[in-house]
Amino acid sequence: MRNVFARYADCLLAQVFQSTACNAIHSIEQRTAKWILAAMERTGDESSVPLTHEQLATLLGVGRSYASRVLQSFKAEGILDARRGSILVRNRDGLRQRACPCNDAVKTHFEEVLRGVYPTEDADRSSA
C-alpha cells in the first residue's frame, strides 16, 4: 500500500511541477487550447465544453476580457465558437495544434508510474 501512495505522490508532484512550468513558459493561447481539450476529455463531449469565459479566465489566471480576446482569435480562425455558457469546438485538430504538450506529458508520466494500478482494456477483454 505504501508503494501505491508513493506512486500517487510522485504523480501529484509531477502534475504540480508541469503546471508551474506551463504557466511560466507557454502563451495564454496555448494554455487555453490545452484547458479546452482537457475539459473535452473529462466531459466526454467531442464538440462542446460547458465553460464560460469567466471560468476559463479563472483557470488561466487572467482577466475575463483577455480570455474573451483569445477565444475571439480562435473563433476568427474557425477553431471555436462560443454560446452562452459553453464553447463549441469546430476544429479539434486545429485546437490540438495550438495547445501546449503539457497535458500529454502528465498523462504519459501517470501511465508510466501507475502502470498496473488500474485495469486496462486488454485485461478487461481477457477476463470476459
pLDDT in tens, 13-56: 999 999 999 989 999 999 999 999 999 988 888 888 998 999 99
The three cell numbers of residue 47 are 464538440
Short-list 79, 29, 87, 30, CA closest to 55? 87
Q: Which CATH architecture has domain 27-99?
A: Orthogonal Bundle (1.10)
CA distance 108 to 41: 15
Indicate the average pLDDT of the chain.
88
CB burial class (10 A; 0-12, 13-18, 19+) of residue 12? exposed
**Average of pLDDT values for 71-75?**
94
Residue 126 has pLDDT above 70, yes or no: no
In angstroms, how far is the first alpha carbon of the chain from the final one? 28
Q: pTM score, two decimals? A: 0.79
